[in-house]
């Protein structure tokens, strides 16, 4: 099974670029930029990656992002992630980034987007990995701030395909951002939102009906509501599930309890993703291996998860067809 997973062509749809900042690169950028980190060394920093919920992770994630200052920093971050994609046979990836985390520190939006975009272009040419960017707004901030961010970003519209909603979920319902999503929809952008990670099934309903998203990020709490599970199965609105993240943030106590396979068997378009791989212990292959070990799927179920990700992606139909063929031909 491990060999089958390693070679399987993959598509990633839920990965926060700031969450791919490995401690080694964090320390290197801190030194390069004269930023002081509140940890003496890499080992001590890694030991701090012991989370009890989403917020305890987000506090470190926003702190770590403070080493990112120049265009080259964003290039290096994105390039390092793409090299991991190449190792894991990820053929296509749709990457989240959080501009407000950087603009609030005085880093211009242009610096962020140009650094990332240059790396993605090199990734297409040198690694043959296709990619799209999804601009996420932080739900612990106001809708007005989200709209301001989008308005600034529209000058660089050719660089991103859609918008998303992330950060602290509970107490910050999707409904608060309906106006922002209306604006993004009017701009022809794709729409996704984190919902049902720590928050209730009702937040997933809100994301579907009020925000009209075409994918739900996480969504694992849908099982609280059988009508919602039926709706997701009938509509095939995909869930971008992140197994190692769910374990590290205590959304599940044990991987054996994860509902990913149950949701797959109920006909939902579930996919496997890494979320914040530098913080949660692994990239795509590691996430597949973790669920394979805990849930005992067969190779065809693993293949289906990869096919689902192609279906759920924002790729044009011609590129989807090619990837589907490649995944179906794959023998392991």
Q: Which is nearer to ligand ADE, 194 or 320 (CB)?
A: 194
Angle at 163 between CA 234 and CA 315, to 5 degrees: 60
Instruction: Report residue 290 as tokens.
Output: 């973790």
**Three-state SS at 253:** coil
Give yes or no for residue 275 binding Zn ion (CB under 5 A): yes
Q: How far is the CB of 30 from ligand ADE (least distance, A)?
A: 20
91/134 Cα distance (integer angstroms): 17
Active-site residue, from 143, 197, 198, 322: 197
273/266 Cα distance (integer angstroms): 19
Whether 10 contacts 283, CB under 8 Å = no
Count of residues near ligand ADE by CB under 6 A: 11
Give yes or no for residue 98 binding Zn ion (CB under 5 A): no
Give yes or no for residue 71 binding Zn ion (CB under 5 A): no
Instruction: Report residue 5 as tokens.
Output: 């997973």
Q: Which is nearer to ligand ADE, 95 or 237 (CB)?
A: 95
Whether 273 contacts 290, CB under 8 Å = no
Site string for ligand ADE, 28-57 (x = CB under 6 A): --------------------------x---
Whether 178 contacts 203, CB under 8 Å = no
Q: Which residue has the tokens 């530098």?
A: 278
Site string for ligand ADE, 180-219 (x = CB under 6 A): --------------x--x----------------------
A 10 A CB-CB count for 324 gives 15
* φ, ψ (nearest 5 deg) of residue 39: -135, 140
170/12 Cα distance (integer angstroms): 25
From the list ligand ADE, Zn ion, none, partner contacted by residue 73 (C-beta under 5 to 8 A by kind): none
From the list Zn ion, ligand ADE, none, partner contacted by residue 54 (C-beta under 5 to 8 A by kind): ligand ADE
Q: Is 197 a catalytic residue?
A: yes
Give yes or no for residue 16 binding ligand ADE (CB under 6 A): yes
From the list ligand ADE, Zn ion, none, partner contacted by residue 69 (C-beta under 5 to 8 A by kind): none
Kindly list the residues in this chain that would bind ligand ADE in the complex (CB under 6 A): 16, 19, 54, 61, 166-167, 194, 197, 245, 275-276
| Catalytically active residues, by annotation | 197
Kindly list the residues in this chain that would bind Zn ion in the complex (CB under 5 A): 275
């Amino acid at each position: 099974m491990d060999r089958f997973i390693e070679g399987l062509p993959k598509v990633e749809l839920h990965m926060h670029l700031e969450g791919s900042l490995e401690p080694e690169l964090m320390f290197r950028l801190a030194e390069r930029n004269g930023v002081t980190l509140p940890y003496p060394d890499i080992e001590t920093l890694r030991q701090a990656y012991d989370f009890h919920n989403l917020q305890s992770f987000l506090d470190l994630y926003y702190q770590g992002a403070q080493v990112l200052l120049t265009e080259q920093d964003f290039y290096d971050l994105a390039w390092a992630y793409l090299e991991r994609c190449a190792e894991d046979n990820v053929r296509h990836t749709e990457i989240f980034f959080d501009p407000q985390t950087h603009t609030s520190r005085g880093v211009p939006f242009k610096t962020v987007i140009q650094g990332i975009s240059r790396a993605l272009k090199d990734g297409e040419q040198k690694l043959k990995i296709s990619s799209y960017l999804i601009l996420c707004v932080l739900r612990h901030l106001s809708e007005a701030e989200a709209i301001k961010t989008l308005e600034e970003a529209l000058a660089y519209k050719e660089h991103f395909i859609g918008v998303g909603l992330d950060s602290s979920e509970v107490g910050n319902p999707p409904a608060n951002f309906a106006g922002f999503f209306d604006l993004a929809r009017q701009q022809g952008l794709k729409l996704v939102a984190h919902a049902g990670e720590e928050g209730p099934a009702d937040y997933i309903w809100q994301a579907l009906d009020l925000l009209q998203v075409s994918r739900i990020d996480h969504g694992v709490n849908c099982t609280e509501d059988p009508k919602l599970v039926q709706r997701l199965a009938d509509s095939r609105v995909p869930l971008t599930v992140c197994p190692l993240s769910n374990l590290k943030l205590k959304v599940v106590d044990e991987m054996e309890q994860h509902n990913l396979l149950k949701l797959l068997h109920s006909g939902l378009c579930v996919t496997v993703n890494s979320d914040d791989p530098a913080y949660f212990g692994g990239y795509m292959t590691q996430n597949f291996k973790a669920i394979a070990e805990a849930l005992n799927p067969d190779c065809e179920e693993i293949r289906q998860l990869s096919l689902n990700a192609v279906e759920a992606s924002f790729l044009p139909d011609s590129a989807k067809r090619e990837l589907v063929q490649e995944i179906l031909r794959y023998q392991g």
